[in-house]
Structure 1
Amino acid sequence: MKELISPVNDVLFSIKRETDCDLKKPQRFANYSVIFIPAGTGHYHADFGEFEFKGPTILFSTPLQHIFLSSQEELKFSLLQFHGDFYCIEFHQKEVSCNGLLFNNIYVAPLLSLSDQEAETFKRLIADIEEELAKRSPDRMVLIAFLQLFLARASSIKMHAIETEKTSVVRDEKMEMFVRLLEENYLNFRKPNDYADMLSMSPNNFSKRSIRYFKKPPSSLIQERIILEAKKKLHLTRLSIKEISHSLNFEDEYYFSRYFKKITKVSPQLYREKTGISIVADLK
């Protein structure tokens, strides 16, 4: 395990191997996590979703997500993790469009399938990062450059894969309409039946098609969309918990805190404490 530690003892950037971290057991990491798996098959469990993977692949998770791997094989992997104070994906959105693509997208599977050639590129980048971290005084800017290149390459491959999928996979127009309706109405409508009515579908058919299309039931997508917005406001603004609860149309901050904790297993206050408040909060 190689890591860069802040003056207050927070892990800002690190690389671990399978010998350093057991991902067969459920984990919650305070940092953004990127798991590179060069070979093997299995399932990636991330909060509400379960996603089948085949190596070489890269898996992604945001802070304090509930994640683990299940596989019949002994998987080898590299776990790359970074804190928002080390690299803010929102601040660097113009340079690397990974926010909403690799991270923080509830509709897209949080994984990236790679060709053998692409996998070799990421292996070299990981080796470069490990070499820099092994130095007595790792250069922070060099590490940021390596991380930015890693995320930029991954984002480019992911974007190309999405564009290819649009022309090769049969689209479910009703489910695509659900995405649009949810984005427009998640603050006001929070029951699957509300959206089933809007789509003129039976609740049972709606649920089955959502699970088939998104690998998640509609109830999970609705909850995830609300929680995603809450996490953004906790991390990217200095709004108080009361102000955030009001902006999300909760009755009061106590109900919001209970709702957030029920789904994420941590309170809004603890989430903000663990992830910190982004520099973006002071730029807006």
Structure 2
Amino acid sequence: MKNNYITFKEFTKNYIRNFPDTFRYFETPIQIYKAENLFSPDILTPTPLLKANFNFIVLPTSGNFEQQVGNEIKKVSENQALLVMQGEVTSLLRQSRNVKGFYILFEDKILQQFKDHGSFIKLFTTAPIIQLQKNESEFLELTCKLIIRELEAPECDEQIVLHLFQSLLLKFLKSSELRKGLSRQFDIAVLFRELVYKHFSAHYSINDYASMLHISPNYLNRCVQNIWNKSAKQFTQEFIIIQSQKLLQDFSGSVSDIAYQLNFSDPSYFSRLFKKTIGISPQEYRSNLMHDMS
């Protein structure tokens, strides 16, 4: 099955109508752009559901936008931040005309360089939206401006950029409501998610996943519930439906073909599960996509 990973350069080329030729791509593991250059009337929304090959943070200072992350739709405005991990399925659905702020993307290896990398990974995994106080937003805005200033310097010092970015992450960490004392449950939930990402098309049962993790199904459910506020079964079903949304973007195959591709023996059951999860049938979802494209 096609993964549909997309790079940042591919995204700007394919989904932004008038992306300026003079826009500078920084050849660094940390990149930062002004949101108004991306979230503008020139962007084609809604963008298709895609897996990004980069982590990103969006910090709006005015306006708002809606982003689908996994199976959830997040509305983000000023005094909030959206954090999305590499490999997460995501789509920009819509944005207001006055969106301003910062769009930061970075490679996985960046987090590994920090002493608190475990906490930062947990932050991205469990808190996609962070609510900020006004003084925190001002600090983050200033830090973003300093990062841009250093990146645009004739002789950019990547160590300065790295330390500024670390201070930005630390502020997010302090601002978040990340719960403590869940490290064991968090580790199990993340391992479970990785197994689902790898084996979802096989439709393994929760008992199968628990066996792979050498724990009981009840404890697996407790871990997933505490981290993502949903049962392990609900998590796997929602993830499968997200994959089907990507496949429905290709109009060459029927809904039944997609159901069989995802190892559903009964296409009607797939349609019922899709409607239960998304709120509309696969046929209606595809019709809406065709309408948006026209």
- TM-score under structure 2 normalisation? 0.51
The structure with higher relative contact order (CA 8 Å, sep 6+) is: 1
**Structure 1 residue aligned with 2:170:** 152
**Structure 2 residue aligned with 1:90:** 112
2:235 to 213, 216, 221: 221
Percent pairwise identity: 15
Normalized per residue, which structure has more helix? 2
Q: Which moved more, 1:32-41 or 1:121-130?
A: 32-41
Matched, 1:162 2:178: yes
- TM-score under structure 1 normalisation? 0.53
Aligned 8 A contact 1:3 1:13 in 2: no
Q: Secondary structure at the match of 1:162?
A: coil
2:153 to 135, 145, 148: 135
How far is the alpha carbon of 1:221 from its aligned partner? 2.6
CA separation of 1:18/1:100 partners in 2, compared to 1, >3 Å: closer, same or farther? closer
Aligned 8 A contact 1:15 1:81 in 2: yes
Which residue identity lines up with residue 170 of structure 2 in the other structure?
A
The C-alpha deviation readout for 1:203-234, integer Å capped at 9, x for no partner, is xxx9xxx7xx9476744634899xxxxxxxxx
Which residue identity lines up with residue 129 of structure 2 in the other structure?
L
**Structure 2 residue aligned with 1:78:** 102
Aligned 8 A contact 2:79 2:137 in 1: yes
**Structure 2 residue aligned with 1:125:** 143
Which residue identity lines up with residue 56 of structure 1 in the other structure?
N
CA separation of 1:39/1:99 partners in 2, compared to 1, >3 Å: closer, same or farther? same
The C-alpha deviation readout for 1:40-61, integer Å capped at 9, x for no partner, is 4453311233234342211111
Matched, 1:102 2:116: no
Aligned 8 A contact 2:26 2:151 in 1: yes
Aligned 8 A contact 1:42 1:72 in 2: yes
- Paired with 2:106 and 2:113, the residues of 1 have a C-alpha distance of 14
User: Within 5 Å, which residues of 2 pair with 1:250-261?
Assistant: none
- Paired with 1:154 and 1:216, the residues of 2 have a C-alpha distance of 24
CA separation of 1:99/1:191 partners in 2, compared to 1, >3 Å: closer, same or farther? farther
Structure 2: unaligned runs, 5 residues or longer:
1-22, 197-202, 210-215, 240-261, 264-294
**Structure 1 residue aligned with 2:245:** none
2:57 to 29, 34, 39: 34
The C-alpha deviation readout for 1:50-87, integer Å capped at 9, x for no partner, is 234342211111224332333462332311111234x2
Structure 1: unaligned runs, 5 residues or longer:
6-10, 167-177, 200-205, 226-257, 260-284
Equivalent pairs, count: 195
CA separation of 1:181/1:20 partners in 2, compared to 1, >3 Å: closer, same or farther? closer
